[in-house]
């Protein structure tokens, strides 16, 4: 595994890196029912080709980095569904393998290599709350302390680090303890790089109420952290968060917020605007505020990513 910073070539050659968009919502639009504790990870077992199709769509839309479908893929989660530990580990590796295969097929076409760097594959490390599947990923209200979270994440971390992913995406982090736990695991694997992105409840705090300034400062001394930022957060909070983070840390800021639609937990449906042009223009504003890794999270689509890339400075 190379120890160089994988995002640096993109920043040097084009000044930004475009991250992909939502995975689960694209799978639901394709007709798959993800009402399951494994969420999109269930398709690693049931329909892996559908995940690969979405990866390819984002690459064709201009994503410089696709994120593996391992967000909600945990050894414990698969074993609860009847998998052996060995099969669970293989399934998590397969999540990264699907992304690597999709990238390989994309890059094999000479037309895709014109004026473009080879896209990256980031192995998603979702939060403990995603495994709980009880909404704790949006509150950080956990029943484990920092040491317990290290042990929960450890084996999956080791599995993901055994793959050929270019880096890890520690994403949708709602808890300061969880960020510390993941940082500990990162320092135990010195040949690996990762970005850390927090889920935030407003323009200053992550979901558990910790000021994001505190979280960013704790990560600022770790050389393996290639970017820090936010995801799975309302677009309205992003500019404030980018400015706060940028004032503290020297690494690039990563942002991939939700589409702007609002989830109604009672009615179990999304409502509100979903305008690709508005999202892209907002992204250009986030770039202007200092973000350098930009993409989308819940409900964003390949069209959002295509338009985002089009409006960024070239």
Question: Residue 267: pLDDT above 50?
Answer: yes
Nearest to 17 by CA among 259, 299, 256, 278: 256
Checking phi first, is residue 68 left (phi over 0); if not, alpha (psi -120 to 50) or beta? beta
Q: What is the CATH number of the domain that holds 148?
A: 3.20.20.330
Residue spans of alpha helices (H) in the chain: 8-13, 24-29, 43-46, 48-61, 75-80, 85-107, 128-132, 146-161, 176-188, 212-219, 238-246, 276-289, 302-311
Question: Residue 280: pLDDT above 80?
Answer: yes
Number of domains in the chain: 1
Average pLDDT, the chain: 93
- The pair phi, psi for residue 234, each rounded to 5°, is -60, 135
What pLDDT does residue 33 have?
83
Mean pLDDT across the stretch 84-106? Answer: 97
Question: Residue 261: pLDDT above 80?
Answer: no
Nearest to 218 by CA among 228, 209, 208: 228
Residue 29 lies inside a defined structural domain of this protein: yes
What pLDDT does residue 37 have?
78
**Bridge partner residues of 169 (DSSP):** 124, 195
Mean pLDDT across the stretch 89-98? Answer: 97
Supply the range of the domain harboring residue 211: 8-311
Asked if residue 295 lies in contact with residue 257, where contact means CB atoms within 8 angstroms, the answer is no
Q: 289-305: per-residue pLDDT in tens?
A: 999 999 999 999 999 99
3-state SS class at 247: coil
What pLDDT does residue 248 have?
93
Mean pLDDT across the stretch 80-103? Answer: 96
What pLDDT does residue 38 have?
81
Residue 2 lies inside a defined structural domain of this protein: no
Residue 180 lies inside a defined structural domain of this protein: yes
Over the range 47-70, which residues count as b (16 or more CB within 10 Å of their CB) and which as e? ebebbbebbbbbbebbbbbbbbbb
- CA distances 221 to 45, 183, 203, 214, 250, Å, are 39, 11, 23, 13, 10
For the chain, percent of residues with pLDDT exceeding 70: 94
Residue 71 lies inside a defined structural domain of this protein: yes
Question: Residue 75: pLDDT above 90?
Answer: yes
Question: Residue 162: pLDDT above 50?
Answer: yes
What pLDDT does residue 34 have?
83
What pLDDT does residue 271 have?
62
Asked if residue 127 lies in contact with residue 73, where contact means CB atoms within 8 angstroms, the answer is no
Question: Residue 2: pLDDT above 60?
Answer: no
Mean pLDDT across the stretch 136-156? Answer: 96
Nearest to 39 by CA among 165, 129, 141: 129
| Other Cβ atoms closer than 10 A to 82 | 8
Question: What count of Cα atoms within 13 Å lies in the side-chain half-sphere of residue 45?
Answer: 19
What pLDDT does residue 311 have?
96
Question: Residue 87: pLDDT above 80?
Answer: yes
What pLDDT does residue 1 have?
42
Question: What count of Cα atoms within 13 Å lies in the side-chain half-sphere of residue 160?
Answer: 33
What pLDDT does residue 270 have?
61
What pLDDT does residue 287 have?
98
| Other Cβ atoms closer than 10 A to 45 | 15
**Bridge partner residues of 192 (DSSP):** none
What pLDDT does residue 273 have?
61
Residue 67 lies inside a defined structural domain of this protein: yes
Residue 3 lies inside a defined structural domain of this protein: no
What pLDDT does residue 41 have?
87
């Amino acid at each position: 595994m190379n120890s160089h910073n994988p995002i640096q070539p993109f920043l040097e050659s084009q000044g930004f890196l475009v991250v992909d968009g939502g995975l689960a919502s694209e799978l639901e639009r394709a007709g798959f029912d993800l009402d399951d504790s494994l969420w999109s990870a269930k398709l690693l077992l049931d329909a892996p080709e559908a995940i690969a199709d979405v990866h390819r769509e984002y690459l064709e839309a201009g994503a410089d980095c696709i994120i593996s479908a391992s967000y909600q893929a945990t050894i414990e989660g698969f074993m609860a569904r009847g998998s052996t530990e060995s099969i669970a580990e293989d399934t998590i590796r397969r999540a990264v393998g699907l992304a690597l295969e999709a990238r390989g097929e994309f890059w094999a076409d000479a037309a895709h290599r014109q004026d473009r760097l080879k896209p990256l594959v980031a192995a998603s490390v979702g939060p403990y709350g995603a495994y709980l599947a009880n909404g704790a990923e949006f509150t950080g209200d956990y029943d484990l302390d920092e040491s317990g979270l290290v042990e929960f994440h450890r084996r999956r971390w080791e599995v993901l680090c055994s793959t050929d992913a270019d880096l890890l995406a520690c994403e949708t982090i709602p808890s300061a303890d969880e960020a510390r736990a993941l940082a500990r695991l990162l320092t135990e694997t010195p040949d690996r790089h990762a970005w850390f992105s927090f889920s935030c409840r407003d323009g200053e705090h992550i979901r558990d109420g910790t000021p994001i300034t505190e979280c960013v400062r704790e990560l600022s001394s770790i050389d393996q952290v290639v970017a820090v930022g936010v995801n799975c957060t309302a677009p309205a909070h992003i500019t404030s968060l980018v400015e706060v983070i940028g004032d503290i840390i020297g690494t690039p800021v990563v942002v991939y917020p939700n589409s702007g639609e609002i989830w109604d937990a009672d009615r179990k449906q999304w409502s509100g605007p979903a305008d690709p042009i508005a999202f892209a223009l907002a992204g250009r504003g986030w770039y202007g505020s200092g973000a350098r890794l930009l993409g989308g999270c819940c409900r964003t689509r390949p069209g959002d990513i295509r338009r985002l890339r089009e409006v960024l400075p070239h």
